[in-house]
Amino acid sequence: MTLPKTFGELKESGYEVLSVKDEVRKNLIKKIKNNETVFEGIIGYEETVIPEIENAILSKHDFILLGLRGQAKTKILRSLTNLLDERIPIIKGSEVNDNPFAPISKFGKDQIEEWGNATEIEWIPRDFRYNEKLATPDVTIADLIGDIDPIKAASQRLHYSHEGAIHFGILPRTNRGIFAINEIPDLQQRIQVGLLNLLEEKDIQIRGFPIRFPIDAMIVFSANPEDYTSRGSIITPLKDRISSQIITHYPHKLEDAIQISDQESWLERENLGEPNFPQVLREVIELVAFEARQSEFIDQKSGVSSRMVISCLENVVSNSERRVARGLSEEISIRTSDLWAMVSAITGKIELVYEGEEQGVEQVAKGLIGKAIQTAFTEIFPLVNPTKSEKSQHLLYNEIVHWFGQGNSVEVNDLMSSEDYFEILDKIPTLKSIARKYFFKQGEQASQENLASGMEFVLEGLFQSSKIGKFEMRRGSKFRDLAGSYFDNIDFDLN
């Protein structure tokens, strides 16, 4: 289909111009009727956030997404472009996407007046109709709305009050589109005041010169609740003009959290394919975030971003990739000992309270990993500390605990060859049979590498349950009897 190239052809085609909010509303209704996914790649919000966004769009509201860091706020705002028409016509050369039927700039009006039906038309794609601005204290009214351009005024011999002397800001340039402001509380209050009329009356002033400029835009915002007190606030009149406030959240379900992290992470490495990831270990990585979001050592007002899990996941895969590069393993196969590569990904992404500062960020990170291992262990393995009626389950681990109690120990690290890793763990009685029976989820293959990882996971679970001891070495860990570990931590003074 050939698109009209002049204003006259556009009129003959019967094209109907809709406001942005009507256009987005129309396309949303169409997607809902066709049972199409409205927000691709947004997981865990199907019953909470997305219905509220749809209500705001159907109501033709400007809205704000309010939530902690790493809750997909910006991703949602950017995906709103999928609700715009594929292309729309504008007067060719217009800085503010002038509607040929009702131009708002002097340039657009002059073009229609001079050329009439012969006015040239161009079609802009939906991606060109979305702009966003990160609110920072140095943002000015000129950035958002515009300012007088003295060079333009001088070269064209225009008075400063002439509309042709204006250099338009990002918001007028988003006319007939969607404009997003991220972290709106960081915007200075006097700049927020400048948005009031744009949201309601559409009047703007530049350098004291009143200009009627009816911008057609959907204006959306994002903010972190903590910003209201720590860095700034949204002024009350502006909040009053934002019609809908939608609260975002972290994933409620472990399955949703895993799906989000897998979607956003870089896991498949060149020439090595996807990593061989035992499902239990994959769950442990995600459980670290769940543990962090309820830890007494972490400032919960700051939040624990999903980006932390993404970094953890990539670090764990990279730790296994190092073994492949050294020729110690044939594939990226994740071991339990690889989980400690998450420490460096956690330490920079959590804000500690006073008690956490006393512990130290590295110890807090290791504690979170340990708790995540213990949570996963207790969900799939028989109880370590059963009641009297469950005493038979306790016998499952007796031979392992007894073996360590006789003075035996094993050392494991993340740079052992696959063969050595399996052989050293296979010396422990009943460990292999327990791992084979409980570690693997339905449908998983028990390869030797994964079985060895399951065996180490049992040892970690028993350590976290205080049944055996563990001594951390510079590279790896040494599992031993519990009493010996106590003595490792005592500083004997023989003088």
- What would the two tokens of residue 118 be? 């012969």
Q: How far apart are CA 348 and CA 365, in angstroms?
A: 10
Q: Which residues of 395-414 are buried (b: 16+ CB within 10 A; e: fewer)?
A: ebbeebeebbeeeeebebbb
Q: Which two tokens stand for residue 415?
A: 């740079």
Alpha-carbon gap, residue 232 to 221, rounded angstroms:
15
Contacts of 255 (CB under 8 A, 6+ apart): none
Distance separating alpha carbons of residues 291 and 285, to the nearest angstrom: 10
Task: In whole angstroms, give the CA distance from residue 166 to residue 96.
Answer: 12
Nearest to 177 by CA among 87, 105, 285: 87
Query: CA 243 to CA 53: how far, in whole Å?
Result: 11
**Cα distance between residue 314 and residue 319, in whole Å:** 9
> What pLDDT was estimated at residue 312?
97
Supply φ then ψ for residue 299, to 5 degrees. -70, 105
pLDDT of residue 101: 95
pLDDT by residue for the chain (495 residues), tens only, comes to: 689 999 999 999 999 999 999 999 999 999 999 999 999 999 999 999 999 999 999 999 999 999 999 999 999 999 999 999 999 999 999 999 999 999 988 889 999 999 999 999 999 999 999 999 999 888 988 888 877 666 665 566 665 555 666 778 898 899 999 999 999 998 888 889 888 877 876 666 666 566 667 889 999 999 988 655 445 788 999 999 999 999 999 999 999 999 999 999 999 988 888 899 999 999 999 999 999 999 999 999 889 999 999 999 999 999 999 999 999 998 999 999 999 999 999 999 999 999 999 999 999 999 999 999 999 999 999 887 665 555 555 578 999 999 999 999 999 999 999 999 999 999 999 999 999 999 998 878 788 999 999 999 999 999 999 999 999 887 789 999 987 555 454 443 444
How far apart (Å, rounded) are the C-alpha atoms in residues 170 and 96?
A: 9
Q: How far is CA 290 from the centre of its chain?
A: 15
Per CATH, the number for 7-247 is 3.40.50.300
What's the confidence (pLDDT) of residue 11? Answer: 95
End-to-end, the C-alpha distance of the chain in Å comes to 95
Calpha distance 396→230 (Å, rounded):
52
Nearest Cα residue to 298 out of 363, 242, 253, 391: 363
Residues 6+ apart with CB under 8 A from 173: 95, 96, 97, 131
Q: Which residues does 30 contact at the CB level (< 8 Å), separation at least 6?
A: none
* C-alpha span between 195 and 3 (Å, rounded): 36
User: What is the structure's pLDDT at 460?
Assistant: 96
Q: What's the pLDDT at 442?
A: 82
Are the C-beta atoms of residues 94 and 274 closer than 8 Å to each other?
no
- What is the spatial distance between Cα 114 and Cα 69, in angstroms, rounded to a whole number? 51
Domain ranges of the chain: 7-247, 254-488
Can you give the pTM of this predicted structure?
Answer: 0.88
Question: How far apart are the C-alpha atoms of 311 and 242, rounded to whole Å?
Answer: 35
DSSP strand pairing (217-223 vs 63-66)? parallel
Q: What is the pLDDT of residue 394?
A: 57
Residues 6+ apart with CB under 8 A from 225: 66, 67, 68, 301
Residues 6+ apart with CB under 8 A from 409: 478, 479, 480, 481, 484
